[in-house]
Amino acid sequence: MSTSPPRRGKAFPPKSPDELDLRRVVDTIPQLVWSAFPDGSVEFCNQRWLECTGLTAEQAQGWGWRAAIHPEDLEGLVATWRRVLAAGVPGEAAARMQMADGTFRWFLIRATPLRDDKGQIVRWYGTNTDIDERKRAEEALRESEQRFRLVADTAPVLIWMSGTDKLCTYFNKPWLDFTGRSMEKELGNGWAEGVHPEDLQRCLDTYTQSFDRRDEFRVEYRLRRHDGEYRWVFDIGVPRFNNNGSFAGYIGSCVDVTDRQLALRETALTNDRLRLAMEAGTSVWWDLDVKSGRDLWFGDLQTVFGIESDKYAASAEDFIRYVHPDDRQQVSEALADARQNRKLYAAEFRIVRPDGKVRWLVARGKFYYATNGDPERMLGILLDITDRKRTEEALSLTNDRLRLAMEAGGAGGWEWDIKSGRNLWFGKAYALVGTTPEAYSGSIQEFWDRVHTEDRIRLHDAVENAEQNNTEFNEEFRVMWPDGTVRWLRSQGKYFYAANGEPERMLGISVDITERKRAEEAFRQSELRYKEVFDNTSECIFLLDVTGDGRFKFAGLNPAEEAAVGFSSAAVAGRFVEDVAGDEVAKGVIANYRRCVEVGTLIGYEEELNLPIGRRYFHTNLIPVRDAAGRIHRIVGVARDITERKGSLEALRASEERLRLAIQAGRMYAYEWDVATDAVVR
């Protein structure tokens, strides 16, 4: 492959008004835009590219653009560019570019091939996007994370962090050394495997309720050490917030308080009651004397049971009477199971207050046993979760509405578990690829098998780019149904990452855009037909843009018009009529243009123009074109050169005049005899 600029002329000038408009747009947009020949040598760089790098167009052409690349990035960038050229597919790379002031900035460089009807690459088009701020932010974030991990790993406490989904995303080295487990095993809810079974639910309740309120919490529980011994730890968790005030999750620290717990063993019962009483939210806790059946209730009795007191002496039977009839059996079974199997009591159920209002409660409790093994006491807490239940019901309703909306709109959603390779589809996802839930295995490979072979590399690159750059995935591609039907889909999705930066899953949505694609292709064909007529018709066609102040500016000329008037489309496009034609010619033609705008309909006339190629006569029709607001913003002119016809008429008139003078001078008489009628006409 050549590494020196090929001998080429200037870039081809625009051949149509649309191409001219595009060139002007490319030179004025703030994006760095370029094009290259099939061999990879650069053909064109827009004005913004040249201004940023300080290179001239001639310096940047061919392979001269390499002068703007940082020396440390040049070899890798050129290698990537060659791989992209060899593969003939879109590609991208990040590199530092030297600015005109000598500084370097990071850019994301992307290239896409343009192919002709035979599939051959005729051009490469590319953009350079400034990502310097993002790169610097990423580097600052990495340094910040390194400092945090250094401090956390040397701290004499166990430190953990969680995200907004309540799942743990980080544990420091002292934590991992204490538990003897790897980071992967502790992440998410894995850490809970080390919590003592008797403490687990209480620990989770404290965490979950505080998390929902964004409150600081403190909790003690037993955590299994690497040698199998359970140690008491005191855990303090506080909410974290981003710089913009948005909630980011929790961070917590634990210290080993086993020695203190051993010293307080004799007061364990009191501590249990205190711990339960400190549970957040609307709550009632109870102290049941199993032998006597006396049940003492404390807390917000008014809200939960409608009892106007903060303490109430009841019995176990009183409690059961409050439980909703439909829930009494499962509550009784949960109590019996906890009592017989010495396990924590846990249940969710409804109670009916005396005023008929129904409240949802979650109960947690524990039996305490005498030395002979008989239960003698039970402590527990009831938390009012009515609001949570209402929220869950509302969420369920919202999900149902979303599902119905997706089905009505022909959309399908998907969730890809990257580790397992399973791909969960919902909505119209199955129908979009021509299958059914029963026929789909759930494998991500089955989806890729359905993607059109010509689109797989491009789609794979887009997905990979979204993963590597933590950006949203947005791509249009074709899928092949089992019956051979080809459909166009548009998919948008986003990766979600673990604490170690590895992608865990991807969520997205897809819609069928086949009809839109067909319409776009029909429009493209229409544009091609229009351009073919514009370029090849023998009629002279010129386009005028009507400015807001009523002036007229050339937008383009077809080849026939160029030949007739002696101007090229490239030379006049974007220039006002009077600047091109001169005052004498402009005065007459502009008057006709204004008359067309005033009447608002097609007008026709003959005109004589003194042009650089000589005096010419035209029969011209002007057609006004309106925009969406109804304003005439363009005039299409269609003219026919009648110079030769005008010359013939003028010669005929001159000949007749000479004959008339000859007759008068010779005293002759001329007549015309109609043989058919045998009559003298004149």
Worst-scoring range by mean pLDDT, 183-197, 304-318, 360-374, 476-490? 304-318
Residue 604 burial by Cβ neighbours in a 10 Å radius (0-12, 13-18, 19+): exposed
Beginning with the edge strand found earlier in the chain, give each strand of the sheet holding 168-171 in spatial order.
168-171, 158-162, 247-256, 230-241, 217-224
Write out the DSSP string of 471-539: --EEEEEEEE-TTS-EEEEEEEEEEEE-TTS-EEEEEEEEEE-HHHHHHHHHHHHHHHHHHHHHHH-SS
What's the count of helices (H) and strands (E) in the chain, helices before strands? 22, 28
**Residue among 313, 308, 320 nearest 288 (CA):** 313
**Using 50, 70 and 90 to split pLDDT, how confident is the model at 232?**
very high
Does residue 12 have a pLDDT over 50?
A: no
User: Does residue 540 contact residue 560 with C-beta atoms inside 8 Å?
Assistant: yes
CB 554 within 8 A of CB 570: no
Of the residues 75, 100, 130, the one at which a domain ends: 130
Regarding whether 145 and 230 lie in a shared domain, the answer is yes
At 415, the pLDDT band (50, 70, 90 cuts) reads confident
- What CA–CA distance (Å, rounded) separates 238 from 58? 61
Using pLDDT thresholds of 50, 70 and 90, give the confidence band for residue 409: low
Q: CA–CA distance from 52 to each of 135, 225, 346, 576, 609 (Å)?
A: 18, 60, 67, 31, 46
Name the pLDDT band for 2 (thresholds 50, 70, 90): very low
DSSP bridge pairs for 314: 295
Task: Return the number of other C-beta atoms located less than 10 Å from residue 65's C-beta.
Answer: 21
Q: Is pLDDT above 90 for 551? A: yes
Say yes or no: 478 and 499 in one domain. Answer: yes
How large is the average pLDDT for residues 14-25?
Answer: 60
Lowest mean pLDDT among 33-42, 185-194, 641-650, 667-676: 667-676
Greatest distance between any 2 Cα atoms in the chain: 160
Same domain? 201 vs 226: yes
**579-591 average pLDDT score:** 85
The verdict on 346 and 426 lying in the same domain is no
DSSP symbols for 215-237: --EEEEEEEE-TTS-EEEEEEEE
What percent of the chain is predicted at pLDDT more than 90?
41
Residue 547 tokens, joined: 């400015």
Q: Could you give the CA distance from residue 584 to residue 588 in angstroms, rounded to a whole number? A: 7
* Through-space distance between the first and last CA atoms of the chain, rounded to whole angstroms: 86
Q: What is the pLDDT of residue 668?
A: 56
pLDDT of 200 higher than 90: yes
For the beta carbon of residue 610, count every other beta carbon within 10 angstroms.
12
Of 354-358, 418-422, 639-643, the range with the lowest mean pLDDT is 418-422
Specify if 586 maps to a domain: yes
Structure confidence at residue 419 as a pLDDT band (50, 70, 90): confident
Higher pLDDT, residue 2 or 98: 98
Out of 238, 263, 288, pick the residue that ends a domain: 263
The confidence score (pLDDT) of residue 674 equals: 64
Instruction: Among 82, 115, 130, identify where a domain stops.
Output: 130
Q: Are 40 and 74 in contact (CB under 8 A)?
A: no
- Whether 647 maps to a domain, the answer reads no
360: closest CA among 374, 349, 372? 349
| Whether pLDDT at 73 is above 90 | yes
Domain boundaries, position 501: 409-518
pLDDT for the residue 412: 80
Could you tell me if 296 and 383 lie in one domain? yes
Q: Indicate if 338 and 422 belong to the same structural domain.
A: no
Do 71 and 92 share a domain, yes or no? yes
| Residue 545 backbone phi and psi in degrees, to 5 | -95, 135
SS3 63: coil
Quote the pLDDT of residue 291. 86
CA-closest candidate to residue 385, choices 370, 363, 366: 363
Distance CA 13, CA 24 (A): 12
* pLDDT tens digits, 599-621: 999 998 988 888 878 888 888 99
Segment holding 382, helix H or strand E: strand 375-384
Question: What values do phi and psi take at 296, rounded to 5?
Answer: -100, 125
In this predicted model, which residue has the larger pLDDT, 660 or 641?
A: 641
User: Are the C-beta atoms of residues 115 and 122 closer than 8 Å to each other?
Assistant: yes
Reading the block at residue 423, the tokens are 């791909």
Residue 28 lies in a domain: yes
Q: What is the tens place of the pLDDT at every residue in 125-182? A: 999 999 988 888 887 777 767 776 766 677 778 889 899 999 998 898 889 999 999 9
| DSSP-based three-state secondary structure for 554 | strand
pLDDT at 17: 59
Query: CA torsion angle for 298, 304, 310, 311 (degrees, to 10)?
Result: -50
Residue 394: inside a domain? no
Give the chain's mean pLDDT. Answer: 84
Q: Which has more confidence, 536 or 205?
A: 205
Q: 40 and 120: one domain?
A: yes
CB atoms within 10 A of CB 557: 25
pLDDT at 665 over 90: no
- Residue 580's pLDDT is 87
- Give the separation between CA 418 and CA 506, rounded to whole angstroms: 7
Integer Cα distance of 305 and 382 in angstroms: 11
pLDDT of residue 268: 58
Average pLDDT over residues 428-449: 82
- Distance between CA atoms of residues 343 and 40, nearest Å: 72
Q: Is the Cβ–Cβ distance between 603 and 621 less than 8 Å? A: yes
Residues 253, 283, single domain; the answer is: no
**For residue range 503-525, what is the model confidence (pLDDT) as tens digits?**
888 888 888 888 888 888 888 88
* pLDDT tier for residue 278 given thresholds of 50, 70 and 90: very low
Tell me how far apart the alpha carbons of residues 565 and 124 are, in angstroms, rounded to a whole number.
36
9-to-44, 50, 56, 123, 522 alpha-carbon distances in Å: 11, 19, 16, 15, 35
676 inside domain: no
In a domain, 27, yes or no: yes
Mean pLDDT of 40-47: 92
Report the pLDDT averaged over residues 657-674. 62
Does residue 440 sit in helix, strand or coil?
Answer: coil
User: Looking at the domain assignment, is residue 2 inside a domain?
Assistant: no
| Position with higher pLDDT, 415 vs 456 | 456
Residue spans of alpha helices (H) in 29-70: 47-53, 57-60
Question: What is the domain count for the chain?
Answer: 5
- Are 142 and 126 in the same domain? no
Averaged pLDDT, 13-24:
58
The CATH number of residue 245's host domain is 3.30.450.20
pLDDT digits (tens, 9 = 90+) for 449-500: 889 999 999 999 998 898 888 888 889 999 999 998 999 998 888 888 887 8
What beta strand segments (E) does 1-143 contain? Answer: 32-36, 42-45, 91-98, 104-115, 121-130
Question: What is the reported pLDDT for 403?
Answer: 61
Q: Which of 459, 505, 311, 303 is nearest to 386 (CA)?
A: 303
Task: Tell me, rounded to whole angstroms, the distance of Cα 123 from its chain centroid.
Answer: 28
What CA–CA distance (Å, rounded) separates 543 from 556?
5
Contact by Cβ (8 Å): 476, 489? yes
Burial class (CB in 10 A: 0-12, 13-18, 19+), 625: middle
User: Which of 18-32, 162-176, 278-292 has maximum average pLDDT?
Assistant: 162-176
Are 97 and 45 spatial neighbours (Cβ–Cβ below 8 Å)? no
Residues 141 and 240 in one domain: yes
Whether residues 166 and 95 fall in one domain: no
Tokens describing residue 419: 């580790």
